[in-house]
Structure 1
Amino acid sequence: MLTSNRLFLPLKLCLVALLLPGLAGAAEFTPGPVIKGFGAVADVKQTHPLKGDEHFKVVFNATQQGEGDKVNRKFDSLARFLNMQARAGVKPEQVELALVVHGKASFDLLTNAAYRKKFQRDNPNAPLIAELFKHKVRIILCGQAAAAHGIEAKDLLPGVEVALSAMTAHALLQQQGYTLNPG
């Protein structure tokens, strides 16, 4: 049996969307200002704006490989995070990000040569990863996934770290004060 709260939830959400102009309409998503060409975000009128003195330490997790010749959406999330915070007044130096990669997403860390050998095209993630490294983003590959997929250190883009496992990387990053982005 549906409770009255569950029954009226869709109606309540519609009312909220109508009462908050700008949230219900289509917004323009654009990249930058930190990572140009990646991480498109919309400008948002905040009801609780950031002060600009916040410090973020966030780790993202990627397990799924990017689709075709597109950038891995999880990798692009880090560019989005940097761009959003900058637009909200938080300096890039106040944002520390890490990306733990395992599963089939491991292939998205290959050099163009290794990626071409496996997929007959350049790695579409290489330019984004190079930009993320310019902003001190740590990218950590699960050593267990690398072993399972036959990925050797020589096949990885420069700067990619290899951990014992994704589980180990997440545990160590948590001890260093990183929070896990749930998305």
Structure 2
Amino acid sequence: MRRIIFISLLLFSVQAAAVDLPNFASGPLINEYGKHTAAPSTSVGESSKFKIAFDVAKGAEAGEVNRQFDSLARFINMHVAAGVPKENIELALIVHGRASMDLLDNVTYQKVHSKDNPNIELLNILMKNQVQVLLCGQTAGAYEIRPEQLVEGVIVELSAMTAHALLQQQGYTVNPF
């Protein structure tokens, strides 16, 4: 039992500490988000090409940045830092479930959470870096989210399943969370 408790505490402290590790930095492309550390790799470089869909259903706590959205910034930063040309990285963020609330414009988000939406800046940066942000239309219907209530640039697709199927036809793989 002690061993289980020790391992649990160790894993928790490593996860909590990973947020502010001193050898993690943002950039070189997205300076405000996407902290990463240098790591040796013999398989990633100038000729690498990525087409990846990130599926996110878990919403952030009210008033906090969705850490899974930040993962796309981290993916971009660490691969550009490793020598992959920016134009060789094509990402899509497919959002459904509670994470849909993190796509709301500030006015709508404030009505729901009584706080500003801290995800807007990150979403805008991701979209400026050619990331497609897609909301599941079925989730939008379930939560009564109208397209005009979303951060500008977010696309509503028929469903998350549809978005994944269409992206797979274009050669995207799925990044598991």
TM range, smaller chain: 0.7 to 0.9
TM-score, normalised by the number of residues in structure 2: 0.85
Does structure 2 retain, via aligned residues, the 8 Å contact 1:49–1:88? no
Query: Which runs of 5 or more residues in structure 2 are unaligned?
Result: 1-20
Tell me the residue number matched to 1:182: 176
Q: Distance in 2 between matches of 1:178 and 1:105?
A: 21
1:111 aligned onto 2:105: yes
Does residue 36 (structure 1) correspond to residue 23 (structure 2)? The answer is: no
For 2:92, what is the secondary structure of its paired residue? strand
1:8-23 to 2 correspondence within 5 Å? none
Cα distance, 1:67 vs structure 2:
1.9
The alpha-carbon deviation at position 34 of structure 1 amounts to 1.1
Alignment of 1:149 with 2:147, yes or no, is no
**What is the TM-score with the length of structure 1 in the denominator?**
0.83
| Residue type of the alignment partner of 1:37 | E
What is the deviation of 1:49?
4.4
Runs of 4+ residues deviating >4 angstroms: none
Q: Which residue of 1 aligns with 2:3?
A: none
Counting matched residue pairs gives 157
Aligned partners of 1:134, 1:148: CA distance in 2, in Å? 29
C-alpha contact (below 8 Å) 2:97/2:139 kept by paired residues: yes
CA offsets 1:14-58 (integer angstroms, 9 cap, x no match): xxxxxxxxxxxx761111111111010011123x24231111100
Answer whether contact 2:63 2:113 (CA < 8 A) is retained.
Answer: no
Q: CA RMSD in A?
A: 1.2
Kept after mapping to 2: 8 A contact 1:101/1:140: yes
**SS where residue 42 of structure 1 aligns?**
coil
How far apart, CA to CA, are the structure 1 residues paired with 2:130 and 2:108? 24
Q: Deviations over 1:133-174 (max 9, x none)?
A: 111100000000001001111100110000000011001100
For residues 10-159 of structure 1, what are the structure 2 equivalents within 5 Å?
A: 28-46=23-41, 48-159=42-153
Q: Which runs of 5+ in 1 are unaligned?
A: 1-25
